[in-house]
């Protein structure tokens, strides 16, 4: 689509990346108030740094390894500094009060492991035991180190760089410039930074979704059992954090693979529809994602929307009824608008929403480039993008139907942002290339004008024909 760019000189920030990461670990270790966390944070920080260096060195592509090592070290430093800033100012609970429930579930689960209590009722009959188990594991190792799971999330958010970089590289014909831009946005977009330094389950969920998309694209290109296993393991991990998301991502990734392999649009549609129905039926049979696959589905969606809007100051669409097909279709534009664009700058009603204003404005600026990237993708190589686009559309539409308040929509949107950034990076690089071409053309015109003026002053002919003569 776009020509592969030459490797540029190393930015100055990358040269100081190891120092930034080390300083970040120290600042975060000193910022936590709990004795157990003051032990856990530096230990996990050093271990995570070593694992990050190992991940970067395992890359066979030396240029990719150098970029990923630099950008991940900067990410670690920035995230640890943000970790410390939040805990020394407003506190983590301001941004994610629900982390208390994860801590309590982790404590209860640990007691059940030790035989002191039964398994928490909320964790029976569900696959979503991953995040409480992480809290319980850190509690077992370090004691009540409430910041330890946030450090785990910090590295999950950092390692997102690897699947995003290679996923983008796969579908943009090895254009490293586009892959770098997508990776930088996925690592340093404000909300993705925020959720990865709190004790909430967003960071591992986002990483697992990106990994599933990456392996699915590889499998679409060439059938390989290792890639199939990677996609299935990623789906299993998603199930441990958000069971319903396993169904949505699995169905859409499978449909994307089928559509990408087909040469006929009609055949693609039939294959995609058939695969979605088959996977949905299989999910129902094994009990996966029961919260979104059980009947009657529209009535359940209405219940979920109503439940999310209760007690929320930023609730929207309280009067909407999506329990019928007509009601669902009527509400869909409203749900999509809130899911993709909220919180709106003109309707900020709280300090927390005000904090998101810079990101929201930046997000609005990115949207035209994302649409431009989507247009270029389908103009030049539509089959390459079927998997990430299918996941993006299915997850977005599903969330748009059930969201009931702005805060939840804002957090859930982060799960699809890395896939959105792939298209944004394509659009941004194209706009950058066009700007460079126009700049070069203007420079050439100015140089030609200066030459003509010099020729005119010297009495030499200025026309090309005269020069050639």
Task: Look at 10-14, 75-79, 146-150, 196-200 and tell me which has the smallest mean pLDDT.
Answer: 10-14
Residue 281 pLDDT grade (very low, low, confident, very high; cuts 50, 70, 90): very low
pLDDT at 278: 57
Least confident range of 169-173, 197-201, 233-237, 436-440: 436-440
pLDDT band for position 106 (cuts 50, 70, 90): very high
- Is residue 300 pLDDT above 50, yes or no? no
pLDDT at position 299: 40
Which residue from 236, 237, 238, 44 is spatially nearest to 137, judged by alpha carbons? 44
Q: What is the pLDDT at residue 270? A: 56
Q: What is the pTM of this model?
A: 0.86
| Cis-peptide into 343, omega within 30 deg | yes
pLDDT surpassing 80 at residue 319: no
Would residue 432 be called left, alpha or beta, if left means φ above 0 and alpha means ψ between -120 and 50 degrees?
A: alpha
- What is the model's pLDDT at position 288? 45
Handedness of CA 291, 325, 278, 340 (dihedral sign): negative
Cα 165 to Cα 170: distance, rounded to the nearest angstrom? 9
Which residue has 């850190």 as its token pair? Answer: 138
At residue 353 the predicted structure's pLDDT band, cuts being 50, 70 and 90, is confident
pLDDT band with cut points at 50, 70 and 90 for residue 31: very high
């Amino acid at each position: 689509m776009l020509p592969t760019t030459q490797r540029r000189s190393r930015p100055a920030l990358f040269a100081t990346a190891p120092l930034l990461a080390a300083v970040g670990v120290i600042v975060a270790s000193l910022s936590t108030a709990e004795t157990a966390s003051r032990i856990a944070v530096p230990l996990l920080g050093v271990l995570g740094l070593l694992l990050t260096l190992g991940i970067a060195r395992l890359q066979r592509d030396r240029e990719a390894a150098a970029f990923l090592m630099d950008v991940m070290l900067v990410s670690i430093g920035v995230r640890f500094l943000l970790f410390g800033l939040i805990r020394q100012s407003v506190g983590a609970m301001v941004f994610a009060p629900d982390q208390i429930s994860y801590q309590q579930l982790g404590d209860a689960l640990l007691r059940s492991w030790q035989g002191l209590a039964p398994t928490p009722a909320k964790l029976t009959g569900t696959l979503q035991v991953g995040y409480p188990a992480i809290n319980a594991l850190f509690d077992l190792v370090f004691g009540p180190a409430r910041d330890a799971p946030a450090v785990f999330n910090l590295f999950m958010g950092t390692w997102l760089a690897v699947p995003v970089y290679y996923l983008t590289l796969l579908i943009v014909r090895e254009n490293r410039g586009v892959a770098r831009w997508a990776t930088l946005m996925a690592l340093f977009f404000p909300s993705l930074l925020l959720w990865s330094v709190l004790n909430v389950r967003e960071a591992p969920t986002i990483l697992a979704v990106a990994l599933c998309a990456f392996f699915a694209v590889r499998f679409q290109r060439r059938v390989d059992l290792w890639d199939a296993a990677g996609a299935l393991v990623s789906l299993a991990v998603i199930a441990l954090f958000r069971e319903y998301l396993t169904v949505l991502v699995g169905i859409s990734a499978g449909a994307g693979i089928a559509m990408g392999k087909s040469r006929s649009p009609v055949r693609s549609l039939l294959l995609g529809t058939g695969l979605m129905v088959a996977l949905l039926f299989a999910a129902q049979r094994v009990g996966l994602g029961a919260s979104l696959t059980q009947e009657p589905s529209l009535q359940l969606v209405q219940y979920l929307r109503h439940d999310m809007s209760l007690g929320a100051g930023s609730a929207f669409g309280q009067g909407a009824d999506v329990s019928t097909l007509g009601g669902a279709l009527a509400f869909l534009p409203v749900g999509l608008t809130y899911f993709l664009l909220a919180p709106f700058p003109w309707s900020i009603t709280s300090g927390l929403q005000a904090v998101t204003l810079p990101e929201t404005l930046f997000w609005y600026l990115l949207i035209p480039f994302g649409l431009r990237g989507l247009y270029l993708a389908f103009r030049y190589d539509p089959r390459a993008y079927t998997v990430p686009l299918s996941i993006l559309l299915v997850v977005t539409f599903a969330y748009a139907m059930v969201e009931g308040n702005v805060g939840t929509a804002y957090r859930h949107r982060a799960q699809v942002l890395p896939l959105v950034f792939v298209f944004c990076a394509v659009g941004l690089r194209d706009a950058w290339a066009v700007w460079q071409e126009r700049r070069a053309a203007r420079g050439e015109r100015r140089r030609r004008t200066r030459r003509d003026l010099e020729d005119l002053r010297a009495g030499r002919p200025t026309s090309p024909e005269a020069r050639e003569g």
